[in-house]
Amino acid sequence: MPGGAVIGTVDTGRIEAPVTAKAYMMCAFSAFGGIFFGFDSGYISGVMGMPYFVHLYTGLPYPPTTSSALFTLSSSDKSLITSILSAGTFFGAIAAGDIADFIGRRTTVIIGCIVFIIGVILQTASTTLGLLVAGRLIAGIGVGFVSAIIILYMSEVAPKKVRGAIVSGYQFCITIGILLASCVDYATQNRLDTGSYRIPIGIQMAWALILGTGLFLLPESPRYFVKKGKLDKAVEVTARLRGQPRDSVYVQQEVAEIVANHEYELQVTPQGSYFNSWIVCFKGSLRDPGSNLRRTILGTSLQMMQQWTGVNFIFYFGTTFFQALNTISNPFLIGLITTLVNVCSTPISFWTVEKFGRRPLLIWGALGMVVCQFIVAIIGTVTNNGTGNPNAVSAMIAFICIYIFFFASTWGPGAWVLIGEIFPLPIRSRGVGLSTASNWLWNCIIAVITPYMVGTDKGNLGAKVFWVWGSLCCCCLAYAYFLVPETKGLSLEQVDRMFEECTPRTSSKWRPHTTYASEMGLTDKGAVQHDVTEVEHKV
């Protein structure tokens, strides 16, 4: 068998090429995009706590003449610096869907890397708030491109049996990015020169260079070519991705199914003008789980819920939150530990997402988070943020770590896996873009308001803020139970059919019983070849 060792085999519904080691490597490489998503959102928490950075950006004298709680950036500056990245990513992700349909998924990610590098250069050069904020905004646009389109690309090129695991690999890279950022922050925190923040910021260029260069060598998504009507190209890249010859029955059937599904979707909801093609994302009835409207709401709300879990409170403001707990001697170290827990827990999902499925993962994950957050809230309330009570502080930190464990092994990867799977091809790039934008919008909202809720100069909620996150996690639990469908083990085209035929709560029992290709008479070997001419003709 060309392309390396055989890892997997045939299944229900239709035949899929065995998963080769080479295919794994190709799909898994794009997960690298997660590193700079994670690093970029992760480095800022530590940098905002660095003495030299605080001194330079606030003008406060160093060594501090006030208590450590007052030697800090104002809540409004923290809020602006942190949230501006997410504002950029929001717009980047929305625009990226259209660009990816126009010039291809791969090229869009490469452009995202270039934009990101420009933003990083500005941030590295900055010594004032204005330039830092502008740099983070531009870098954010690049991250928006990459974070939306990498998910789209990975979901479209990965073999269905390992799609969940491969997209979880992206989340794993996000967590590694956050951890690397913490390590670099930890190493440079005490420097009394601009290297303290310039090193963590500048290092990010390496991630963009690696991702951009690597993607040059990878094939484009076959679904992009089908959408463009270039079926010959679709066959060529599918053959490369699956490690099979072009005329292999696996390749022919896979492309035939994508074509048939695409044509079916276009018949059901024709695209029309540019404006109409956006409207299509919101068409259909709210009652119908398979309507585009329901799927767009599902994707965007799923990412909103992922942010409502409150995880970024820890990753964005962890260092300053732990600093405010006074009793802790090394808040940077605790921040580092939380990111380590995040990294180590994510790989569990590679197995569980395929073994138990997406739905149970989100339901049990939300339950675990609710319990941990309410425990932290209770301890924090009863002991007045653990003041003078090291045991209470240790217990809070322990439950925060368990809460991160639940997030990292469930909602962290789960939300990304699902948004890559739930949209039909005609609206997939926009759907994924909108959902990613929703992630960043809520990420931004939380980054803006949290400093005001917990800042010692503002709401001063301290650990009581976990009442808020715990309550929001209750919403995540109900949401997962009532609205999240099971997509495990299905091809993207089968997911499409599943949406039409059942509700989220009955979805795990649904099995594929027919294919679009067989319904449209495209299952014979050679049928795609015939269809190439047909579709090219139509386009």
Closest CB to ligand BGC among 171 and 196? Answer: 171
Tokens (6 digits) for 453:
């809720």
- DSSP symbol at 330: -
Q: Is 93 left (phi over 0), alpha (psi -120 to 50) or beta?
A: alpha
Angle between helices 231-242 and 249-268 (to 10 degrees): 130
Q: Which is nearer to ligand BGC, 440 or 510 (CB)?
A: 440
Q: Which residues contact 382 (CB under 8 A, 6 or more apart)?
A: 392
C-beta closer to ligand BGC: residue 108 or 175: 175
How many residues are there in the chain? 539
Q: Which residues pair with 20 in a beta bridge?
A: 6
User: Interaction with ligand BGC in 303-332: which residues (CB under 6 A)?
Assistant: 306, 311-312, 315
Please choose, out of 171-179, 214-222, 272-280, 353-361, the segment that lies near ligand BGC by the rule CB under 6 A. 171-179
How near is the Cβ of 472 to ligand BGC at its closest, in Å? Answer: 14
**Cβ distance to ligand BGC smaller for residue 239 or 302:** 302
Where does residue 30 rank: exposed (0-12), middle (13-18), buried (19+ CB within 10 A)? buried
Question: What residue spans of 243-388 are helical by DSSP H?
Answer: 249-268, 274-279, 292-308, 311-324, 331-345, 348-355, 358-382
Among 79, 89, 175, 345, contact with ligand BGC (rule: CB under 6 A): 175
Site for ligand BGC in 10-69 (CB under 6 A): 41
Structure tokens at 155: 């979901």
**Which CB sits closer to ligand BGC, 315 or 321?**
315
Interface with ligand BGC in residues 406-435 (CB under 6 A): 412
Minimum Å gap between C-beta 182 and ligand BGC is 12
Q: How far is the CB of 307 from ligand BGC (least distance, A)?
A: 6
Nearest CB to ligand BGC, comparing residues 13 and 88: 88
Residue 373 interacts with ligand BGC (CB under 6 A): yes or no: no
Instruction: Check binding of 392 to ligand BGC (CB under 6 A).
Output: no
Query: Quick check: 334 and 394 in contact, CB under 8 A?
Result: no
Shortest separation between residue 96's beta carbon and ligand BGC, angstroms? 16
Q: Which of 188, 238, 338, 439 binds ligand BGC (CB under 6 A)?
A: 439
Q: Site for ligand BGC (CB under 6 A): which residue of 30, 83, 168, 171? A: 171
Q: Is 342 in the site for ligand BGC (CB under 6 A)?
A: yes
Nearer to ligand BGC, 35 or 454 (CB): 35
Closest CB to ligand BGC among residues 175, 189? 175
Which residue is closest to ligand BGC by CB? 412
Nearer to ligand BGC, 360 or 412 (CB): 412
Which of 174/402 has CB closer to ligand BGC?
A: 174
Asked if residue 45 lies in contact with residue 283, where contact means CB atoms within 8 angstroms, the answer is: no
In whole angstroms, the minimum distance from the beta carbon of 17 to ligand BGC comes to 30
Is 522 in contact with 258 (CB distance < 8 Å)? no
Closest approach, Cβ 339 to ligand BGC, in A, equals 8
Three-class SS of residue 405?
A: helix
Indicate the burial class of 350 (C-beta count within 10 angstroms; 0-12, 13-18, 19 or more): buried
With the CA atoms of 534, 537, 538 and 539 taken in that order, what torsion angle do they form, in degrees rounded to the nearest 10? 120
Question: Measured in whole angstroms, how far is the alpha carbon of residue 91 from the centre of its chain?
Answer: 15
- The 3 state secondary structure assigned to 93-139 is HHHHHHHHHHHCHHHHHHHHHHHHHHHHHHHHHCCCHHHHHHHHHHH
Identify residues 487-506 at the interface with ligand BGC (CB under 6 A): none
- Chain residues binding ligand BGC by CB under 6 A are 41, 171, 174-175, 178, 306, 311-312, 315, 342, 412, 439, 443
